[in-house]
Amino acid sequence: MSSIIDGKKIAKEIETELTAKVGAMESAPRLSVVQIGDDPASASYIKAKANTASRVGIALTHHHLPVDTSVKELENLVDNLNESEDGLIIQLPIPKALEPVLERIKPENDVDGFHSENLGKLVQGISGMVPCTPAGIIELLYRSGNAPEGKHVVVVGRSTIVGTPLSLLLSQKGVDATVTLCHSRTKSLHEHCKKADILVAAVGKANMITKDMVKPGAVIIDVGVNRTSEGLVGDVSHDVRDVASQITPVPGGVGPMTVVMLMSNTVKSALEN
Ligand code: NDP
């Protein structure tokens, strides 16, 4: 039976470190979160961010705009917040027509790490804003005694916010994992997964990783968040606990790490800019 990697507890440790850092700063770091429309999941993510920010001592402002906000209106708001804030995020999803405005966020204020300049820096191994979920997974691995060096890590899912940046972080010099990146067109997914020392599931399909896909003793990071009739579940089936050595729960694994890494990026931006 596998043991749990407690993301909530590890996120709390990081929160305590950040609170001390912020306490020593002359003024509170400023973070603005822009929400467009009324997506219920977005509302609950923003609430979690606001609660964590308040505990850390970050001044978070929530800007809630209607779904019919124009490109020009959003551009104006972003331009203003680029000047006044240390960190600025636009909570996804947003209407397709507004997506180009994401690139208008100043890269040094882009605490979500989604701007093409920050992703480019990640490819080149240059310091920049790293996307929060991949950064949180790296912290989770180190702080749970699972340094990725020399390990074979299989990442399932290649999105630009999770799988792809995570595969880049893991293969950077100094982290030194050997990475296999799988996606919906991967042939023999079972065989790839079965070779993983560390298996990361970032797909968004409930219970798609099953026991027969996991090497005995592997470490499992379950990124998936799926709302089902049984409540919130990850991408990893419960029976995987029979063979894995350690596993992150859903909820309480990667989720809290994502939120605390957003705070970490905001503090970094406030200290550097
Ligand atoms: P996307 O939908 O953007 O990407 C999903 C990826 O999974 C794609 O690369 C897709 O492949 C791949 N995929 C789909 N079906 C299969 C399959 N059958 N076999 C192998 N690969 C497959 O999702 P995100 O990356 O944004 O999110 C993934 C999950 O993580 C979601 O449940 C999301 O809610 C959750 N999440 C959780 C966070 C947290 O903090 N806990 C933060 C961010 C996301 P292809 O590219 O070929 O289409």
Q: Identify the structural domains of the chain with CATH numbers, from first to last.
A: 28-106 (3.40.50.10860), 132-255 (3.40.50.720)
Instruction: For residue 239, indicate whether it is catalytic.
Output: no
Q: Are 127 and 100 in contact (CB under 8 A)?
A: no
Residue-by-residue pLDDT tens, the chain, 273 positions: 899 999 999 999 999 999 999 999 999 999 999 999 999 999 999 999 999 999 999 999 999 999 999 999 999 999 999 999 999 999 999 999 999 999 999 999 999 999 999 999 999 999 999 999 999 999 999 999 999 999 999 999 999 999 999 999 999 999 999 999 999 999 999 999 999 999 999 999 999 999 999 999 999 999 999 999 999 999 999 999 999 999 999 999 999 999 999 999 999 999 998
243 phi and psi angles, rounded to 5 deg: -115, -30
Catalytic (active site) residue 246: no
Half-sphere exposure of 129 (CA within 13 A, CB side): 34
Tell whether pTM > 0.75: yes
> Of the residues 35, 49, 197, 235, which is catalytic?
49
Q: Give the Å distance between the CA of 146 and the centre of ligand 1.
A: 23
- Specify the 3-state DSSP secondary structure of 51: helix
Within 6 A (CB) of ligand 1 lie 133, 156-159, 161-163, 182-186, 189, 202-205, 223-226, 254-255, 258
Separation CA 88–CA 68 (nearest Å):
21
b/e map 74-108, b = 16+ CB within 10 Å? beebbeebbeebbbbbbbeebeeebeebbebbbbb
